Structure 1
Amino acid sequence: MHVTQQQTAARRTPSPRIAYWQKQWWLVKRSPLTLLGGAIIVVIVLMMVFAPWLAPYDPNAIDFSARLQPPSSTHWFGTDEVGRDLFSRVVMGSQQSVAAGLAVVAIAAVIGSLLGCFSGVLGGFGDAMIMRIMDIMLSIPSLVLTMALAAALGPSLFNAMLAIAIVRIPFYVRLARGQTLVVRQFAYVQAAKTFGANRWHLITWHILRNALPPLVVQASLDIGAAILMAATLGFIGLGAQQPTAEWGAMVANGRSYVLDQWWYCAFPGMAILITAVGFNLFGDGVRDLLDPKTSGGH
């Protein structure tokens, strides 16, 4: 009977991995803002995936007889200066604006993390050269450097994404290098070097895995900023071009009508605001979950 009770208790005790995720879910539930941010992200992602089915009209279909109509049951967000349905353009624009932010962060995080880890492992003159280049890039205001690169590459959404990613790389390089300088002193890393492990093996199998939590936090917080930056470039004409439905470009096109036709700028602008806030709230929650001091405090 005693053995049976022990076996039953053992079956009821969750595995360490399950217990870990149960604790994380408990922490998430204690943060309403994190849940709100996650809910916003889920809605935005679903809108991106199902945009062709959610849009009631062709986002590029021109109808001069319906130009600049206010919101109504026919056109929920009104129409623009050539009669295009703004609700359809906002929905389809999520595929451009949000995808641009995600792509920017993915490019900057991967390249910057690998470069920062390599710089920390390399040391010496190579490390100094890499970090001086990063310092030069960081010394220039981000918006100014992004605008200069986008203008040099040419106005398009792809070039805008590339320009933003290049400007964001130094932030990941510095963060990854700082983590590398700490992790490379650990005993198991020193042991791997003693047994002849090359630098690439050290970076991919030992250093990068331990440096991942702060990099994930940085990436989650950067998505909202990247979306805003892409919208900014679209607003000044260096991002997506007509007739592409992109939120920043839509706000730019509507600024001439903002006093009389308020809906033209309001709805794309609200989409940018809500999306950026959602990713920032979720990023703050991820930071709290991955920070031992913060999660321990809960």
Structure 2
Amino acid sequence: MMMTEERPAAIASRRRRIDWAKTFWLLRRSPLTLAGGVIMALMLLLMIFSPWLTPYDPNALDLTARLQPPSALHWFGTDEVGRDLFSRVLVGSQQSVTAGLVVVVIAGGLGSLLGCLSGVLGGRGDAAIMRLMDIMLSIPSLVLTMALAAALGPSLFNAMLAIAIVRIPFYVRLARGQTLVVRQFTFVQASRTFGASRWHLISWHILRNALPPLVVQASLDIGSAILMAATLGFIGLGAQQPSAEWGAMVAIGRNYVLDQWWYCTFPGAAILITAVGFNLFGDGIRDLLDPKAGGRH
């Protein structure tokens, strides 16, 4: 009797081990995905532990050490007021990476729910939501983001909010498309027949089955959100001084690029490496979850 009761649990445990083994095997086949995962993990660790890793106070002024080149004392050199650039780049990971994550959480969460609701409602409600999304998509993303950020006021929080609003239509369209497919499944039709509410259909059936493509979209959007936040910081609509934000640091460093090359090089390299790492990892996640890419074979 005990053997028959334990057998389903043992089978489920074995299946989970097989799934994890297949996942690691697929990741090992893609060196770029592994590289992206390593970069992503490193940036997340820096985001968490950077306050304890900085050798200097990132906002401490030392005019006697202004614009010094990279050395044993200052690995990335110093800026125009003597602040250690290595410390500022490390601390800047908190703002830049956090901005990417917050944007994806806001845009992905609201956009997914709105898209699922649009697909479930149908009729005039669906048409009204999608026409609004079409209007937003008809405006270039950068132009709309800059307009919203300028209207809200220059700050990192407002920049994240502006980027998230602009990214919402992409999740709405994707979630609605998945909803139109999933709502035709037999178990969804059965739940509707037995009187399930729209919220129950969305939360228990549709959203769960539409999650894989939404996760892929979110993983790919983090790198784009980091670049967009850096762009707003570069033009003065993002984080403000003395905040150590990579885009703002590049904006000031460009004034010294001919003689003090290190000023904008290291923050710019941090933006590039972080965005590329998240994009590579997102491509790997897409390959794992896309049956046509071999992730389920």
CA contact (8 A) 2:288 2:295 kept: no
The count of aligned residue pairs is 290
Counterparts of 2:13 and 2:108, CA distance in 1: 34
Residues 189, 282 of structure 1: CA spacing in aligned structure 2 closer, same or farther, 3 A cutoff?
same
3-state SS of paired residue (1:221):
helix
Q: Unaligned 5+ residue runs, structure 2?
A: 1-9
Q: Unaligned 5+ residue runs, structure 1?
A: 1-10
Residues 237, 263 of structure 1: CA spacing in aligned structure 2 closer, same or farther, 3 A cutoff?
same
3-state SS of paired residue (1:70):
coil
Counterparts of 2:13 and 2:190, CA distance in 1: 34
2:289 is matched with 290
Counterparts of 1:190 and 1:275, CA distance in 2: 44
Let me know the Cα RMSD of the aligned residues: 1.6
Residues 296, 90 of structure 1: CA spacing in aligned structure 2 closer, same or farther, 3 A cutoff?
closer
Matches within 5 A, 1:219-298: 219-295=218-294
Shift of 1:19: 1.1
Shift of 1:129: 0.3
3-state SS of paired residue (2:205):
helix
Shift of 1:31: 0.6
Matches within 5 A, 1:87-166: 87-166=86-165
> Deviation per CA, 1:66-94, whole angstroms, max 9, x where unpaired?
00000000000000000000000000000
1:23 is matched with 22
Counterparts of 1:12 and 1:32, CA distance in 2: 32
Runs of 4+ in 1 over 3 A off after TM superposition: 11-14
Percent identity of the aligned residues?
Answer: 80
Counterparts of 2:225 and 2:150, CA distance in 1: 17
Instruction: Tell me if 1:71 matches 2:70.
Output: yes
Instruction: Tell me if 1:190 matches 2:189.
Output: yes
Shift of 1:12: 10
Shift of 1:45: 1.2
Counterparts of 1:50 and 1:148, CA distance in 2: 34
Q: Compute the TM-score of the two structures, normalised by the length of structure 2.
A: 0.95
1:206 is matched with 205
Shift of 1:25: 1.1
Paired AA for residue 244 in structure 1: S
> Deviation per CA, 1:85-124, whole angstroms, max 9, x where unpaired?
0000000000001000100011000000000000000000
Paired AA for residue 266 in structure 2: F
Counterparts of 2:258 and 2:76, CA distance in 1: 16
